[in-house]
Homo-oligomer: A and B are copies of this chain.
Amino acid sequence: MNNKPIGVFDSGLGGLTVVKEIKKLLPYENIIYLGDTARVPYGTRSKDVVIKFSFQDADYLISKKVKCLVVACNTASSFAGDLLKKHLTLPVFDVIKPVAEDIKKNRRERKIGIIGTKGTISSHAYKKAILKKVSKVSILEQACPLFVPMIEEGEIKGSLIEKVIEKYLSVFKTKKIDTLVLGCTHYPIIEKEIQNYLGKKVILINPEKLVAEDLKKYLQKNRMLTKSKRKGKIAYLVTDISQSFLKVAEIFLGTKITSKVTKVQID
Binding site for B on A (CB under 8 A): 37-40, 44-46, 48-49, 118, 122, 145-146, 148-150, 152-153, 155, 159-160, 163-164, 167, 239-244, 267
A49 and B245 alpha carbons, distance in the complex (Å): 14
Given contacts A153-B145, A153-B146, contact A44 B160 (CB under 8 A): no
| Contact, CB under 8 Å: B146 / A150 | yes
Q: Is the CB of B242 within 8 A of A118?
A: yes
Q: Can you tell how many copies of this chain the complex includes?
A: 2
In the complex, A37→B239 CA distance in Å? 17
Instruction: Kindly state the separation between the CA atoms of A118 and B153 in the bound complex, as whole angstroms.
Output: 11
Could you list 25 A-B pairs, sorted by A, with CB under 8 Å?
A37-B45, A38-B39, A38-B45, A38-B49, A39-B39, A40-B44, A44-B244, A45-B242, A46-B241, A46-B243, A48-B240, A49-B239, A49-B240, A118-B244, A122-B243, A145-B152, A145-B153, A146-B149, A146-B150, A146-B153, A160-B163, A160-B164, A160-B167, A163-B163, A267-B267
Query: Which residue of chain B has its CB nearest to the CB of A163?
Result: B160
| Chain B residues near A240 (CB-CB < 8 A) | 45-46, 48-49
Q: Considering the chains assembled together, what is the distance between the CA atoms of A48 and B164 in angstroms?
A: 33
Evaluate contact between B145 and A149: CB separation under 8 angstroms.
yes
Contact A163 B155 (CB under 8 A): no
CA distance A122 to B242 in the complex (A): 11
Complex: how many Å from CA A7 to CA B163?
41
Q: Complex formed: what's the CA distance from A149 to B144 in Å? A: 11
Across the interface, which residues of B come within 8 angstroms of A152, CB to CB? 145
In the complex the two chains form, what is the Cα distance from A240 to B152 in whole Å? 23
- Min CB–CB distance A103 → chain B (angstroms): 27
Q: In this complex, what residue of B is CB-closest to A44? A: B242
Identify the 4 closest CB pairs spanning chains A and B, nearest first: A149-B149, A49-B240, A46-B242, A38-B49
Chain B residues with CB below 8 A from A145, complex form: 149, 152-153
Q: Chain B CB within 10 Å — which of A40, A48, A243, A244 has the most?
A: A243
Within the assembled complex, what's the spacing in Å between the Cα atoms of A10 and B46?
Answer: 18
Whole-angstrom distance between the alpha carbons of A163 and B38 in the complex?
30
